[in-house]
A and B are shown apart, each in its own frame.
Chain A
């Protein structure tokens, strides 16, 4: 059974930094692309970033490009999201998501999410 467990969320002031982690189990982590998807309070789903399993190419939404960095440690089966220069509009539940292929695809498994609140 695929399990994705996020951690690292919390309250951070505007301009601050936070690092999210996602511990994965139940599948061959290095063989799949992984992604972060967020949902602001009362809003819809927004894709944030993805990293391929095969060659670790990375992709970002324009709203986070230059501020967020996605990475993975295949030896630890862990996905990361380093978030810098945080803004109030980054406040959201952040979901770790497993994509269906090594190079992308649909989300076939979701974590339960971790809440990031950017506020002074």
Chain B
């Protein structure tokens, strides 16, 4: 099983600042990496797939990077609606696996 590790667990950032979230895979997943945003009480929403391709309707302030085992999600200028939970997920092999999540909170 490919283990996905996200860091930090909690990231405190001021509105308007940049946030960088990390996701590490226990073995190479090539670019088969997705990012999701989840607000409390809601289903997750796809942000990024293929490590760096934004999903339909996702604002340009969200960007993904990396390949192999190291990945990042960057939010260039945090808006109020961006303070919530983020998960990475690999889909290169079964079982599909998610990272433990990062909570982006207001500093």
A44 touches B89 (CB 8 A): no
A110 touches B45 (CB 8 A): yes
Per the CB 8 Å criterion, the residue count for chain B at the interface is 21
B95 touches A107 (CB 8 A): no
A108 touches B36 (CB 8 A): no
Specify which chain A residues have a CB less than 8 angstroms from the CB of B91 in the assembled complex.
99, 104-106
Within 8 A of B (CB), among A68-99: 95, 99
Within 8 A of B (CB), among A5-64: 35, 37, 44-47, 50, 59-62
A47 touches B97 (CB 8 A): yes
A47 touches B96 (CB 8 A): yes
Looking at the complex, which one of A50, A109, A111 makes contact with B96 (CB distance below 8 Å)? A50
Q: How many angstroms between the C-alpha atoms of A111 and B45 in the bound complex?
A: 10
Interface size class of A (residues with CB under 8 A): 20 to 34
| A44-B87, A45-B87, A100-B49 given; A110·B95 CB < 8 A | no
Specify which chain A residues have a CB less than 8 angstroms from the CB of B99 in the assembled complex.
44
A107 touches B101 (CB 8 A): no
Looking at the complex, which one of B55, B95, B97, B100 makes contact with A108 (CB distance below 8 Å)? B55
Question: In the assembled complex, how far is the CB of residue A88 from the closest CB belonging to chain B, in whole angstroms?
Answer: 21
Task: State the B residues within 8 Å of A (CB).
Answer: 1, 34, 36, 38, 43-46, 49, 55, 87, 89, 91, 94-101
10 contacts between A and B (CB under 8 A): A37-B98, A44-B87, A45-B87, A47-B96, A50-B96, A95-B44, A104-B91, A106-B49, A107-B44, A107-B89
Closest 8 CB pairs of A and B: A106-B34, A110-B43, A47-B96, A44-B101, A45-B98, A106-B49, A59-B94, A44-B100
